[in-house]
Structure 1
Amino acid sequence: MSLLVPSLRPSVFLYPLGVWVAMAVLAVANGAFREVVVIPRIGEYAGHVLSTLLLVVAILLVSGAYFANTPIEYTRAELLLVGVGWTVLTVGFEFLVGYVEGATVSETVAQYDVLAGQVWILVPLTLLVAPLLFGWVLAR
């Protein structure tokens, strides 16, 4: 049975959880900045796009800094799990915030509709691939 289930190393997932919390704080600050500064100056849609791109850059910077400086050697499977974890936590957070704000599930799902011009999908995709990018591809 031990051949089928790899041993879990708690630090492999606890530290990235802390990194995700830091990124969540940045995301909330980014959202406040978007609503207070960006949208009044450039409009709703352009503000959404700019804010999403700023958040993607912040995620890349934070995850890059973490994986460049961590003493933990991650396996590819662990990096994939970190990316999946970050993505699930983020999407779950978005639905929780939507629920608290009174948004319907369909309104929250609509944020992911690329065909309607929504670019938010870049955020969870970045969270999914950043650990593999910085922890495996660029670490070699």
Structure 2
Amino acid sequence: MRRIAKNDPDAICEMGTRCYAVDDYAGAIEYFTKATALGSAQAHYQLSTMYNYGTGVEKDRKKEVYHLEEATLKGHPKARHNLAVMSMITAALTKQSNILSSLLVRDMKIPWNFSKNFIKRERSERRSLLRLFVRTRLLSAGCY
């Protein structure tokens, strides 16, 4: 509690995670929002997932993308990966593969071995963009 009183963003984010774990979504949003104002990448990521699934808030794609972008800029690896997956959907639907390739190259530079190894394997097998998206989404959801 002393760290929260001193406005430590990690402690505030942890308190938001505890509220989320006991289904106190209003408290979680309050703590995550306060932590994002103090610069917590994890809090931005947590808010993006809440807006993605509509947990405690109404689903809002714009707010989800905003918080993913902020978390990515602050160096959160899962946020960067999720943003790359979202961009793959956009690229697949609008056929803008140059956006996809630049995000995947950036994604390969982060220290998250899942993304790097998965993308290298997919590129070497020359699978289609849509199949890459489906498998990535299934893996991230734990279904594959």
TM superposition score normalised by structure 1: 0.24
Structure with the bigger RCO (C-alpha within 8 Å, sep 6+) is 1
TM superposition score normalised by structure 2: 0.24
